[in-house]
A and B are shown apart, each in its own frame.
Chain A
Amino acid sequence: NKSKSFPWFGMDIGGTLVKLVYFEPVDITAEEEQEEVENLKSIRRYLTSNVAYGKTGVRDVHLELRNLTMCGRTGNLHFIRFPTQAMPRFIQMGHDKNFSSLHTTLCATGGGAYKFENDFRTMADLELLKLDELDCLIRGLLYVDRVGFNGHPECYYFQNPSDTQSCVKKPCTLEDPFPMLLVNIGSGVSILAVYSENNYKRVTGTSLGGGTFLGLCCLLTGCETFEEALEMASKGDSTNVDKLVKDIYGGDYERFGLQGSAVASSFGHMMSKEKRDSISKEDLARATLVTITNNIGSIARMCAVNEKIERVVFVGNFLRINTVSTKLLAYAMDFWSKGQLRALFLEHEGYFGAVGALMELLKTTEDP
C-alpha cells in the first residue's frame, strides 16, 4: 500500500476556467515533516494560507471538504479556480517553484490538458497524465456524492419550483443514481446518459453554454466578468426584450398548450428601434441568461425523454452563484414535463472533473 508522493493535485483545464483540487494532508507525522522538502512545504503553505492567488486565482473555501480520508491519508480537499487565460502564469509558477523536482504525476483533464501539454513540458518540465474530461466528471461526481459535504448532502433539488413563494432548496442523495442524465454546463454543454460508473454515452451537446452567456453579456452590456453579468441579470426584466406568446397571440396559444407568458421569440422585441431604446442593460443581461438557460433546459428535456431518464443532474460553473439559472432549470424541467422530470444540482458544481483527475492519481476507493 505504497501511497503516491505528495503533492496530490487534480486539474481540469477548461475552455474558460482551470479547476484545481488539492489534497492537504493534516496527519503529517513529525518525522514526515522533517523529511518534507522545502518546495513541497512552500506549496502547501501557499495554497492553504491564501484564498486568493495573483489577480485572478480564487480558493472556494466554502467548498472545502474537511477530514477526508483518501488513500489511507487524512486531510482537507481544497477547491481552487483561475481563468484559463492565466495558464501561462500558472505554468511559470510551477517552473519557479521547481515543481518538476517533486517527481509527482500531474493528472490533468479538460481540453487544456491536450492544448497545454507541450507548454507544461517546455516551460516547467512537467509531464501531464491526460485524462478524458467526461470520464473524470462522472468519477468525481459519484465520489463527492458518496463522501458527502462535511456531513451534509452534496446533492439538492428545488421543491415547488413553479411557485416563487414556496420554492425551497431541499437536500437529497444520489443513492441508486442510475440511470441519470448529466448536463455539464461549462463554456459549452455536454449531455451524458449515465447507466453505471463505467457505462455512459455522450448523448449530445450544445455550443450555447456559459461562454455564450458571458460573451453576449459583455457585448450587449459592457460588463467584463461573470459576476457583473449575473448582478445585472438579477435586476433586469427579460420580458421587455423577449417576444412572448401573448405578444403574438394576445393570450395563450391554447391549441398546443403554450401559455401567454412563454417566450415565443427570444430577443424578438429587439428588431424594433422603439423597444431597443426603451430597455436597460439589466434587461438585456436577464434576457441573455434566460435565453441560454431555457435553451439548455429544453434540449435536456428532449434528451431525457429520448433516453427515458427521469433524473437530470446539472453541473458546471455556469451554475456557480447563479440561482436564477438553477431555479429556471428546476422550473422548466418540472413544468414542461408536467412533473415527470426532476432537476438535481450539486454543491461542487464545476469541480468534478478535477476531483476525478485526482482520483485517477490515487486510484483509490474512499474510506467513508
Chain B
Amino acid sequence: MAFNGHQREDEGIDEDETPTKQPRSEKEMPGCFKTEPHNEASASAGRSTSERRTSNSTMRHRADSVKKTRPPFPWFGMDIGGTLVKLVYFEPKDITAEEEQEEVENLKSIRRYLTSNTAYGKTGIRDVHLELQDLTLCGRTGNLHFIRFPTHDLPAFLQMGRNKHFSSLHTTLCATGGGAYKFESDFRTMADLQLHKLDELDCLIRGVLYIDSVMSSGPSECYYFENPTDPDHCVQKPYTLENPYPLLLVNIGSGVSILAVYSESNYKRVTGTSLGGGTFLGLCCLLTGCSTFEEALEMASQGESTRVDKLVRDIYGGDYERFGLPGWAVASSFGNMMSKEKRESVSKEDLARATLVTITNNIGSITRMCALNENIERVVFVGNFLRVNTLSMKLLAYAMDYWSKGQLKALFLRHEGYFGAVGALLELLHPS
C-alpha cells in the first residue's frame, strides 16, 4: 500500500528525463531583475548565453554600466538554519586575463578551494548534481554551487573565514535563516565579518521563483509524481511553474512553515508546525540509535510502519465507512506500542518507518487543511527534510491526491533546501 510508502520503489531522480519546458522569453524573467533597467542579464540565462558572447562589444559596454552597481566578488548567499547551513557560491567563468591578474590571493584561494573539492572538513558537502552551469547573474557568467554543512560546525566555518582573511575582501555577506541573527555577533568577533541579515521566508520565495525560471541543461527544476496512489505506475514527471500564483509553499526544515504566495512580493505565513525534519531525526536517533539523517532514512526504507501504528481496521475490524476512513488508514500513530508484546516484536526499521510516516502524514494533513482554507490547489514542498527522501515525497504526493480526491497537486523542486541561500545571493546582487 502506498499510504505508508511501502512499495517497490525506483529510488532517485530520473536523470535522463528530457525537460519539456521551453526557454523563457525575456518578459517572463522573474522580477529579481526588475530593479536593474539596463541589466542585459534579463535577456536570458543559461542556454542562450553563448549567443550573446559573440556580441562582445555590446556586452562589454552594457556590462560597464552595471559594474558600478555590481558587488565585488566573492558572491555568496547563506542560509543558517536550525540544523544545516546552506551556502550558494557563484564561481565566475568569464574572468578576463586582466581581472585574473588583479585578483587578490585570498579570493583566488577561496575560489579554488570551493570548486576543486566536493567535501570540506568532516561534514561539509558540495551537492555537485545540483550545480547550475553557465548562469548569467548581474552581467557575469559562471556556475552556481550548492554547499551545505551542519549548523553545529559553524564555528569551524568562522575560523576558516578568519584564516582566509575573508573580511579583507570587503564583501557583504548576505545571510538569512535564524542563525543570521543568532550568530551575527560571532561573525563579527570571530571573523570580523558584518552580516547583512535577511528574512528567511522572503529569501525562500525569491529563491524559488528565480531557480525555477532559470533554464539549465538537465532536468526540470519542478516535478511531480504521476499516479502517486499506484505503486507500480508511480513515476516522476517534470512540471512547469508558469503562472505559479497562487501557490502554497511548504518549507520542511527542522520545523515547518506554510506560506500562501499570491505574487512575488505578496505572501503570508499561514501557519507552521514544530513537527518537522528535526523531529523525524531526533525521534529516530532516540528510538533506533542511529546518528544521521541518511542512516535514519536507510532504516525507514526497510521497515513496516503498520506493525507500530494502530490502523482503522485494528479498531473497527475493517473500514470506518460512515466517514470514509479506509481500514488501512492510520487511526493512532505508534498506537500499538502501548502493548509490551508488540513493542518486543517490532524492529528498529519499523520504528524508523513509523516515525517517517507519522511526521510526513501530519505535515500532509496540515498542508491539506491550509490548501482548503486558502483555496489553493497547487502545493510546493521544499526543504532538506525531502533531500534523498523519496519515501516522504511519494507519501506527500499520495496523501495530497488521495485525501483531496485529486483536487490538490503536490509539487517538488530539485534544489530542495537551498532556496533561502539563493534568495540571499539575489539580495546581494539586486537589493530590493
- B-contacting residues of A (Cβ < 8 Å)? 14-16, 85, 110-112, 114-117, 132, 134, 187-188, 202, 204-212, 214-216, 218-220, 224, 241-243, 245, 247-251, 253, 255-256, 258, 262-273, 276, 284, 291, 294-295, 298-299, 302-303, 305-306
Contacts and interface: CB of A to CB of B under 8 A. Distances in A.
Nearest to A290: B274
B254 A265 contact: yes
Contacts of B370: 302
B8 to A, nearest CB: 25
Contacts of A219: 287, 334, 337, 343, 351
Contacts of B340: 218, 224
A187 B181 CA distance: 41
A51 to B, nearest CB: 23
B283 A299 contact: no
Task: Count chain A CB atoms within 10 A of each CB in B286, B339, B358 and give the residue with the most.
Answer: B286
Contacts of B314: 15
Interface string B333-377: 111111110010000000100000010011001100110110000
B303 interface: no
Nearest to A118: B317
A265 B332 contact: no
A295 B275 contact: yes
A298 B256 CA distance: 13
Main secondary structure of the interface of A (DSSP, over half): helix
Interface stretch (B24-32, B99-107, B126-134, B318-326): B318-326
B114 to A, nearest CB: 26
A253 B81 CA distance: 13
Q: How large is the interface on B (under 10, 10 to 19, 20 to 34, 35 or more residues)?
A: 35 or more
A357 to B, nearest CB: 15
Given A207-B309, A265-B255, A302-B373, A271 B315 contact: no
Contact of A247 (B82, B275, B285): B82
Contacts of B369: 204, 299, 302-303, 306
Main secondary structure of the interface of B (DSSP, over half): helix
Interface string B290-314: 0100000000000000001110101
B172 interface: no
Given A218-B343, A253-B178, A273-B285, 7 more contacts: A187-B335, A212-B332, A215-B335, A271-B281, A273-B291, A298-B366, A306-B369
Please give me the 5 A-B residue pairs with the lowest Cβ-Cβ distance, nearest first: A270-B282, A215-B337, A250-B182, A211-B332, A265-B278
Contacts of B179: 248-249
B264 interface: no
B332 A207 contact: yes
A276 B334 contact: no
Interface string B236-280: 000000000000000000110000000000000101111111110
23 contacts: A15-B315, A16-B335, A110-B315, A111-B317, A114-B316, A114-B317, A117-B317, A206-B362, A211-B334, A212-B358, A215-B333, A216-B334, A241-B282, A248-B177, A249-B178, A249-B179, A256-B201, A256-B269, A264-B82, A265-B276, A268-B83, A291-B279, A298-B273
